[in-house]
């Protein structure tokens, strides 16, 4: 029986992974609508792109503080329905209700208060949602599994940007209300069908809870600095990603002349390509090595961002029509999504490869500490760049950050699928 399971490989976990992916579907559904339309809502009250970027970092400050704390809290939680599920079934439905209220905000103060409360709940649940996969899927198959669940997140992004966002033309409430309904439905699917797993332990082996400080010391004080290098690298690539993301909608509207109802199409196009290749990227990285595949994606993304810069800078000077400029931009965003997902799919498994059962949440928290630090810093920086040099400048900034991440990732020596697996699971 064991030999048969080994031969079946990841296929034995495919169905479970799709079900876990409904948690990522909710994030994929909310994030692009939030990132696209909250800046547009804010611009009704605020003129400066720098100030819009600053307000958009409020949620990132909460993520920096809350995601590590809640992820570690969930590491230590023990209930009849698991250690992650209690957070998911409470906080995601509340997030859905709050999300539906954004179009009803009728003042800057109301909008900021709603942003704060909504992100308190959505941020708190992200760590448990993300940690649910490594809790249930063996380390050897996490690149493939992360490809599947990110594909589910990409489907959520497509539904939000390509399906729901155009409904803004009919009524602003419709996309947000529909998204809330889908989120609650996804939570029900997760709760009914996904059963968490616990590690195999002998009867006389007590459960060990690794202290938080000791876990942090393992990462930063150990001889192998691979985890630290991955964290620094992801800070740089998220500086590029988070710096551009809040302004893509405004770039579409103000530079390319697109109607507001189609402002989310840039993220939607990137989401389509990410869904197409997400699962394949896990298999590719398994064959050629996660580090090598991530570095390949980083250098390609740097080139793509420079091409976007050149297209935005040169299009009006070479007489390219507005439609031609839009098609070129969306084509580059399609390529961007295909290579960005390769980084997202494989970076988390590299960190999880270095964990034990009791430190999955710690490493998940560190991932978000560094990524959200970038998310806090990047929007005001790129907002200032736009105010000083126009929209094309943010793509040069992004290309430089991708190149810096490529350099740092060159020193990573562990985190591959072939490394010894530290977690063994059995069904609860």
The CATH number of whichever domain residue 235 belongs to comes to 1.20.1250.20
Region 275-300: mean pLDDT is 91
With a cut of 90, say whether residue 420 has pLDDT above it: no
- Interatomic CA distance for residues 346 and 298, integer angstroms: 12
Q: What is the pTM of this model?
A: 0.74
Ranges assigned E (strand) in 209-259: none
The verdict on residue 256 lying in a domain is yes
- Interatomic CA distance for residues 28 and 272, integer angstroms: 12
With a cut of 80, say whether residue 303 has pLDDT above it: yes
With a cut of 60, say whether residue 388 has pLDDT above it: yes
Query: Which segment of 5-9, 90-94, 178-182, 402-406 scores lowest on mean pLDDT?
Result: 5-9
Helices (H), 82-141: 85-99, 108-136
With a cut of 60, say whether residue 329 has pLDDT above it: yes
Given pLDDT bands bounded at 50, 70 and 90, which one contains residue 403? very high
The verdict on residue 1 lying in a domain is no
With a cut of 50, say whether residue 207 has pLDDT above it: yes
The verdict on residue 95 lying in a domain is yes
Instruction: Give the chain's domain count.
Output: 1
Q: Rg for the chain (alpha carbons), in Å? A: 21
The verdict on residue 423 lying in a domain is no
- Interatomic CA distance for residues 378 and 397, integer angstroms: 10
How many other β-carbons are positioned within 10 Å of the β-carbon of residue 70? 24
- What is residue 129's predicted lDDT score, i.e. its pLDDT? 87
With a cut of 80, say whether residue 419 has pLDDT above it: no
- Please report, for residues 5, 26, 178, 419, the alpha-carbon distance to residue 222 in angstroms, rounded to integers and kept in the order given: 35, 36, 48, 17
Judging by beta carbons within 10 Å of its beta carbon (0-12, 13-18, 19+), is residue 230 exposed, middle or buried?
Answer: buried
The verdict on residue 253 lying in a domain is yes
What's the chain's average pLDDT? 83
Region 321-334: mean pLDDT is 84
- Contacts of residue 330, Cβ cutoff 8 Å, sequence gap at least 6: 265, 266, 269
By residue range, what is the domain housing residue 227?
A: 10-199+212-417
The verdict on residue 374 lying in a domain is yes
- Interatomic CA distance for residues 304 and 310, integer angstroms: 10
Q: Above pLDDT 70, what percent of the chain?
A: 86
Region 123-127: mean pLDDT is 86
With a cut of 80, say whether residue 49 has pLDDT above it: no
Each residue's pLDDT tens digit, 345-365: 899 889 888 776 666 777 878
With a cut of 50, say whether residue 409 has pLDDT above it: yes
The verdict on residue 204 lying in a domain is no
Q: Which two tokens stand for residue 142?
A: 């996490």
With a cut of 80, say whether residue 53 has pLDDT above it: no
- Interatomic CA distance for residues 207 and 203, integer angstroms: 10
Of 14-18, 95-99, 387-391, 418-422, where does the model show the most confidence? 95-99
- What is residue 187's predicted lDDT score, i.e. its pLDDT? 93
- What is residue 5's predicted lDDT score, i.e. its pLDDT? 47
Look up residue 161 and give its DSSP letter.
I
The verdict on residue 218 lying in a domain is yes
């Amino acid at each position: 029986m064991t030999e048969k399971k080994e031969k079946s490989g990841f296929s034995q976990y495919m169905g479970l992974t799709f079900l876990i992916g409904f948690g990522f579907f909710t994030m994929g559904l909310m994030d692009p609508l939030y990132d696209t339309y909250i800046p547009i809502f804010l611009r009704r009250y605020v003129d400066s792109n720098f100030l819009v970027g600053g307000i958009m970092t409020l949620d990132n400050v909460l993520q920096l503080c809350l995601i590590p704390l809640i992820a570690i809290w969930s590491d230590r939680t023990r209930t009849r329905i698991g250690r992650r599920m209690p957070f998911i079934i409470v906080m995601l439905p509340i997030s859905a209700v709050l999300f539906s209220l954004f179009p009803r905000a009728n003042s800057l103060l109301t909008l900021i208060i709603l942003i704060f409360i909504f992100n308190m709940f959505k941020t708190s649940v992200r760590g448990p949602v993300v940690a649910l996969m490594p809790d249930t899927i063996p380390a050897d198959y996490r690149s493939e599994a992360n490809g599947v669940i990110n594909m589910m997140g990409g489907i959520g992004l497509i539904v939000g940007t390509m399906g729901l966002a155009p409904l803004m033309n009919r009524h602003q409430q419709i996309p947000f209300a529909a998204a809330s309904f889908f989120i609650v439905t996804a939570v029900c699917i997760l709760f009914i069908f996904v059963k968490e797993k616990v590690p195999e332990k002998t009867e006389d082996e007590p459960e060990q809870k690794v202290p938080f400080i000791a876990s942090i010391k393992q990462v930063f004080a150990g001889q192998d600095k691979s985890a630290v290098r991955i964290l620094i690298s992801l800070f740089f690539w998220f500086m590029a990603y988070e710096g551009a993301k809040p302004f893509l909608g405004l770039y579409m509207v103000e530079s390319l002349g697109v109607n507001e109802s189609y402002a989310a199409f840039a993220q939607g196009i990137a989401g389509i390509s990410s869904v197409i290749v997400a699962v394949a990227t896990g298999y590719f990285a398994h064959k050629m090595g996660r580090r090598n595949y991530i570095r390949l994606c980083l250098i390609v993304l740097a080139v793509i961002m420079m091409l976007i810069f050149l297209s935005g800078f040169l299009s009006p000077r070479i007489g390219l029509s507005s439609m031609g400029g839009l098609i070129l931009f969306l084509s580059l965003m399609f390529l961007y999504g295909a290579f960005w997902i390769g980084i997202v799919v494989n970076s988390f498994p590299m960190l999880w490869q270095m964990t034990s059962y009791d430190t999955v949440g710690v490493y998940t928290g560190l991932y978000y500490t560094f990524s959200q630090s970038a998310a806090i810093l990047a929007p005001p920086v790129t907002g200032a760049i736009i105010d000083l040099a126009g929209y094309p400048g943010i793509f040069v900034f992004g290309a430089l950050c991708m190149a810096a991440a490529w350099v740092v990732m060159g020193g990573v020596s562990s985190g591959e699928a072939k490394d010894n697996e530290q977690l063994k699971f059995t069904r609860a």
